[in-house]
Amino acid sequence: MRRRGRKSTASSLPNKVYNQILYLHRLLCSMCVQNNAMKKTHAHICILDSFTTDQGVLDWSALQSLGTVDVYERTGPEEVLSRCAGKTIVITNKVPLDKQTISLLPDCKLICLLSTGTNAVDLEATRQRGIPVCNIPAYSSDSVAELVFAFLLHESRRVDVHAHSVRQGEWTGNQDFCYLKTPQKELRGKVLGLVGFGDIAQSVCRIAKAFGLRVLATTPHPEGKPALGQDFVSRAELLAQSDFVSLHCPLTPETNQLVNEAFLKEMKAGAVLINTGRGGLLDESAVAQALGSGHVASAYLDVLSSEPPAADHPLLNVPNVWITPHIAWATDEARSRLIEILTENVRAWMSGNPQNVVNGL
């Protein structure tokens, strides 16, 4: 006796009901996929060194909306592993994440830098682990360029010296309506040499042209760079002609101690050296000697090879050098922008479309 097969559930239901069930099934599947994705990415986040960015004032609420965030003002070498343990996303500015450390973070799926520079992270180790590393590009270009011009204006006008003399009573007891403590010089017509021509150097160039400076620039790849009134020349030409030499190149094995004795000797006598890039670009002992000899008139440095510097750093007590504590990037606006871009980097990764990835993943 032949059994009659049962009708399928689908065929036994009215079309309208079946379609509704199918729609709900697909919706639930979609929600499960999204939930799994959130489980994968909506996890613990830690910031290893928050204070230089937030200064105890700016908040991380936008980032906290994306997950649970552990915020540490500072992290010592012995604390890195315990604080990163179990974290999906690790955020650092200057706390080093080397190959050994990265190998001991099995849960880490993303590393975000609170900087443009990538020196704090071993990019090859992250590439081998398949961990994307995201940086914060071009967030402080205007801020850094403005400090370059604070240095230039200080060199040419020395407002501090004259304001101090007035506080000391020199003007009230002077027989003339004005007096000069230092030579007063215009920037117009002077030559500014830019070593490197990325975003920051381009911002410097725009300001320089408004001041009437002639701008020379040297870069390994001038092709495709915007025409902002600069003249691309060789490094030797730039050093020989520039009244001010401002460094805007990344720190790489090729540029490490770029400004050495030979570089300094090529500079125009009496020129001014400005470094808002990386401290490692300078052979600091050679710079101290060039300043001492008078061949380099003065130096303005926002960065040093070791930060904070040792008390016996060769440049700290040189009279014709002005050093600021790595503040070029640190305007309120730039630091707020940095947090905004960081949050977008995390959000983009969570959505499966990572941005600002610097290690080729």
Where residue 90 sits, what CATH number does that domain have?
A: 3.40.50.720
Query: What is the C-alpha separation between 273 and 303, in angstroms, rounded?
Result: 13
Q: What residues have CB less than 8 Å from 160, skipping those under 6 apart?
A: 154
Measured in Å, how far apart are the chain's first and last C-alpha atoms?
Answer: 65
Query: What is the C-alpha separation between 269 and 193, in angstroms, rounded?
Result: 14
Residue with tokens 């990344």: 250
Residue 359 within a domain:
no
- Pair (90, 169) in one structural domain: no
Q: What residues have CB less than 8 Å from 78, skipping those under 6 apart?
A: none
pLDDT, tens digit only, all 361 positions of the chain? 444 444 444 445 566 655 666 666 565 655 554 544 444 456 689 999 999 999 999 999 999 999 999 999 999 999 999 999 999 999 999 999 999 999 999 999 999 999 998 989 999 999 999 999 999 999 999 999 999 999 999 999 999 999 999 999 999 999 999 999 999 999 999 999 999 999 999 999 999 999 999 999 999 999 999 999 999 999 999 999 999 999 999 999 999 999 999 999 999 999 999 999 999 999 999 999 999 999 999 999 999 999 999 999 999 999 999 999 999 999 999 999 999 999 999 999 999 999 999 999 8
Q: Which two tokens stand for residue 101?
A: 């450390």
Q: What is the DSSP letter of 279?
A: G
- Pairing state of beta strands 68-71 and 44-47? parallel
Residue 160 within a domain:
yes
Q: Which two tokens stand for residue 228?
A: 């902002």
Q: Are 45 and 69 within 8 A, CB to CB?
A: yes
Residue with tokens 């300043």: 291
- Pair (284, 150) in one structural domain: yes
- Pair (275, 154) in one structural domain: yes
Neighbours of 164 (CB within 10 A): 12
Query: What is the C-alpha separation between 145 and 310, in angstroms, rounded?
Result: 27
What are the CB-based long-range contacts (under 8 Å, 24+) for 119-122? Answer: 119/251, 119/278, 120/92, 120/93, 120/94, 120/95, 120/96, 121/92, 121/96, 121/97, 122/97, 122/98
Residue with tokens 């009215």: 14
Q: What residues have CB less than 8 Å from 285, skipping those under 6 apart?
A: 314
- Pair (125, 193) in one structural domain: no
DSSP string, 67-120: SEEEE-S---GGGHHHHHTT-SEEEESSS-B-HHHHHT-TT--EEEESSS--TT
Residues labelled catalytic: 278, 307, 326
Going edge to edge, which strands form the sheet with 110-113?
Answer: 68-71, 44-47, 89-92, 110-113, 133-134
- Pair (341, 317) in one structural domain: no
Query: What is the C-alpha separation between 291 and 299, in angstroms, rounded?
Result: 8
Cα-trace Rg, the chain = 28
In 3D space, the residue among 258, 261, 323 whose CA is nearest the CA of residue 295 turns out to be 261
- Pair (276, 203) in one structural domain: yes
pLDDT, residue 253, reads 92
Residue 2 within a domain:
no
Residue 5 within a domain:
no
Query: What is the C-alpha separation between 13 and 15, in angstroms, rounded?
Result: 6
Number of domains in the chain: 3
Q: Which two tokens stand for residue 132?
A: 């994307």
In 3D space, the residue among 69, 124, 100, 37 whose CA is nearest the CA of residue 342 turns out to be 69
Residue 93 within a domain:
yes
pLDDT, residue 29, reads 55
Q: What residues have CB less than 8 Å from 319, skipping those under 6 apart?
A: none
pLDDT, residue 4, reads 45
Q: Which residues share a beta bridge with 296?
A: 271
Q: Which residues share a beta bridge with 44?
A: 68
The amino acid at 262: A
- Pair (58, 178) in one structural domain: no
Residue 305 within a domain:
yes
Q: Which two tokens stand for residue 169?
A: 């009573």
Residue with tokens 């947090």: 339
- Pair (81, 28) in one structural domain: no
pTM of the full predicted structure?
Answer: 0.84
- Pair (21, 150) in one structural domain: no
- Pair (224, 164) in one structural domain: yes
Query: What is the C-alpha separation between 332 and 56, in angstroms, rounded?
Result: 12
Residue 263 within a domain:
yes
- Pair (269, 323) in one structural domain: yes
Q: Provide the CA 345 distance to its chain's centre, in angstroms.
A: 15
Owning domain of residue 301: 141-328
- Residues for the chain: how many in total? 361
Q: What is the DSSP letter of 280?
A: G
- Pair (158, 303) in one structural domain: yes
Residue 357 within a domain:
no
